[in-house]
Homo-oligomer: A and B are copies of this chain.
């Protein structure tokens, strides 16, 4: 029967041994969004036009969080990230975030991409929460991954 790989035969947690996996170029892209009041979006957009600082702070937070992924996710392997890009776009209902992470290693970077997206979104919440406590983070998911034994995958 199918079993979660992070649990051993007895059901206890472990960091899966990836020694035998091939070192290959791997890439993952994730997305998510934060839904907010139109007035909040206008404030962020206003700042974005003039200075870019709200989005710049969220982008940086996402990039830096990707580097902390293995510190945050208990069974995640530490790996040498070879690149991270975080893109933010103002959309009708708030802000949309996409993050792409890359490595050349034995494990994938899905968690790094998802962590970048999530922390970027939380950072927007933090910066705007004084004016809008009701913002909601929605649709955080993997969009695509490539490299590794399991091959390419697209949502």
Contact = CB atoms under 8 A, between A and B. Distances in A.
Oligomer copy total: 6
A13 B99 CA distance: 13
Contacts of A13: 53, 56-57, 59-60, 63
Interface in A69-95: 70-87
Contact of A131 (B2, B59, B114, B126): B2
A18 B83 CA distance: 6
Nearest to A83: B17
A98 interface: no
Contacts of A54: 4, 6-7
Contact of A136 (B50, B121, B141): B141
Interface in A1-35: 2-8, 10-19, 25, 32
Q: Which label, helix, strand, loop or mixed, suits the secondary structure of the A interface?
A: mixed
Contacts of A56: 12-13, 51-53, 56-57, 60
A121 B141 CA distance: 11
A17 B119 contact: no
A130 B4 contact: yes
A114 to B, nearest CB: 6
A96 interface: no
B4 A128 contact: yes
Given A72-B119, A74-B57, A83 B7 contact: no
